[in-house]
A and B are shown apart, each in its own frame.
Chain A
Amino acid sequence: MSKLLEVTDLRTHFFTRDGVVKAVDGVSFSLDYGQTLAIVGESGSGKSVTAMSIMGLIPDPPGKIVEGDILFKGDSMLAMEPAEVRKLRGDRIAMIFQDPMTSLNPVYRVGHQIGESLRIHRGMTKREAFDRAVELLDLVGIPNPRERAKDYPHQFSGGMRQRAMIAMALSCDPDILIADEPTTALDVTIQAQILELMIELQDRTGTAIIMITHDLGVVADMADDVMVMYAGKPVEFGTADEVFYKPLHPYTWGLLDSLPRHDVSEKGTLEPIQGQPPSLIRVPRGCSFHPRCPYARVKCVKEVPELVPVEGGHASGCHFSVDPSFRKGEAAVCREVV
């Protein structure tokens, strides 16, 4: 049986006046019902563009999916007519965005907006859609949902708006929910509420979630699988346990060492990754991480590494990950290139 979602060798490039921005350059993964995949990376890593590509929301021009495919239940979404993609979007695949302040339309009542996709995709009447919107608001934990559904977005707080967004995304029982930094704009106590809500709803509905985030804490909280991205490419893929406890790629090591922790009793030292993330127009040749990698060797400058499975499904895009002694804390630091 085909997977719920399968992305193969996706490449989304933007053709700008300054050159070709390879925002996503060779991303592959698959996703099943009830599963949560976290895509982690820093700004410019291509994680959001990956999500937008799946949603078919890449502005063209300047953006274009130049290679690869996105299969939804075995059907290529890239080969579909725009109308078919529109039917999937919001119905089978829904998305929540980072900024709950701007993702709701200020001139419509919240209940109306939540019901919109039900009217479009399910052909419900206004009345039915509104009643369902009230149920959904109740589901996402908004008190007095019948009253609040008649409110306008500005009458909602940030956390409530994000709940409303989730209600909207869930309105058609989507198979896949893509959450692009859903809690980044929220305070920690509100973030905890929202993450808890998403976990609860997933248990209830079996929706698959793609969680796009830069916060490794959120990843540890939510993810079954983790894909770490750097400069448009996946550099590591594995289960959450694999990626956190047995990370393979030096970039992942660097990320984990950069984090201050509040859960360990003593203060550790932070080991930042040196240098700056690359410009996506002039990605370093070879391994794009080599200018910042403390382990870079000549091979890293000359050859682009492939993402290859190392242990079971745990894959790494580093030339040296196949060497069992090349592990976090064990690998001898040896930068050959300067």
Chain B
Amino acid sequence: MALLEVRNLVKHFPVEQGVLMSRVGAHVKAVDDVSFTVESGETVGLVGESGCGKSTTGRCIIRLIEATSGEIAFDGQDVLTLRGKALKEFRRQVQIIFQDPYASLNPRMTIGEIVSEPLKVHGVGTSGEQRKRVQELLDVVGLNPEHINRYPHEFSGGQRQRIGIARALALQPKLIVCDEPVSALDVSIQAQVVNLLDDLQDQFGLTYLFIAHDLSVIRHISDRIVVMYLGKIVETGGWKELYDAPQHPYTQSLLSAVPVPDPEKQRARERIILEGDVPSPIDPPTGCRFHTRCPIAQFPICAEQDPELREVAPGQRAACHFAKPFPIPPELRRSTVIGEGEGGAEGAAEAV
């Protein structure tokens, strides 16, 4: 049995209009019929561009926002109907790490108070034991346990993120939802935090749902990956299959759009430049939601029929009528040769 099972999750936010009286009119279809599973001990990456619903999905799972419909089962237990004590018990087992290391720590509480809050709320141990546990946790995430009485503003972004991680670990949860935990950090610090999360997973047998927009980070940390676009899953699969042979044109475009830190490869690379912007989730396109930007869309089928997520290879599923490895043919890809016709590019490298 999977540790976490999400079935047909839907979250629609009402759009408030009017000044005097708030009238409910349109809805933002943030998450629309999303299903996936997370096995115990693995890391599932949830990736997509802004507005694809990945964060909303994560927050529905930990019950920070209430889902509109669907089912979420954690350890076989129905999460969405939990109330009172049972909900509190669920919160012991599922934790979250936030994106913003500045907004996610209460500036008026000390590090000790922040990390011990979960212990206090759940009445774990005496205050002496709690203090000891906090110091252990700080040590585990690579902070000096003596800093227990300091305030968040005395720490840098990377260190604050470690504090957030210590808080999430305090109750020894089974599942941690990591909501863009490294996107606000500098490259060198990002690698520290990614390694820390990796190590903690080995050490404590954690399961991660890792939400991010950075495809390189997602690939590095995930065992399986779920790609979302406009509130729907477009493709899922093991990290290797998904990156080596993406079967949905959106996945393929997304991967080809990420610049690679290698100038020669970058020059030789073919990429797919998608036209236009992501449509509004208030009024998403009919049929396949990607058809308005898809380089291989065929009409009328793509605009009329919503493709279902189907198995396209062992362990890999894609929601596309024309899914196949590298669905976008080479003639539709563009290779940009930079440096061409730019005289002096080499010679101008002047010593300073």
Contacts and interface: CB of A to CB of B under 8 A. Distances in A.
Direct contact of A and B (CB under 8 A): yes
Interface of A: 28-35, 42-43, 157-160, 187-193, 195-196, 199, 202-203, 214-225, 234, 237-242, 244-245, 254-263, 265, 267, 269-274, 276-277, 307-309, 312-315
A313 B194 contact: no
Contact of B220 (A195, A267, A271): A267
A35 B253 CA distance: 28
B90 to A, nearest CB: 32
A216 B186 CA distance: 12
Contacts of B350: 29-30, 313
Interface size class for chain B?
A: 35 or more
A255 B187 contact: yes
A244 B348 contact: no
Interface in B146-167: 156, 158-159
Interface in B44-85: 49-50
B220 A188 contact: no
A42 B188 contact: yes
A232 to B, nearest CB: 15
A262 B344 contact: no
24 contacts: A35-B342, A42-B188, A159-B277, A188-B215, A189-B49, A189-B254, A191-B257, A192-B259, A192-B271, A193-B274, A203-B342, A216-B261, A220-B262, A224-B348, A225-B349, A237-B351, A238-B349, A240-B263, A244-B263, A260-B191, A261-B261, A262-B255, A272-B191, A277-B156
A272 B193 CA distance: 9
Interface of B: 49-50, 156, 158-159, 186-192, 194-195, 213, 215-217, 219-221, 239-240, 243-244, 253-266, 271, 273-275, 277-278, 334, 336, 338-346, 348-352
B187 A30 contact: no
A220 B260 contact: yes
Given A192-B257, A276-B158, 17 more contacts: A30-B348, A30-B350, A30-B352, A187-B213, A189-B254, A189-B273, A192-B271, A193-B273, A196-B334, A216-B261, A237-B349, A254-B188, A259-B261, A261-B216, A273-B188, A277-B188, A312-B351
A260 B277 contact: no
Contacts of B256: 192
B243 A241 contact: no
Nearest to B340: A203
The main secondary structure of chain A at its interface with chain B is mixed
A158 B338 CA distance: 25
A192 B273 contact: yes
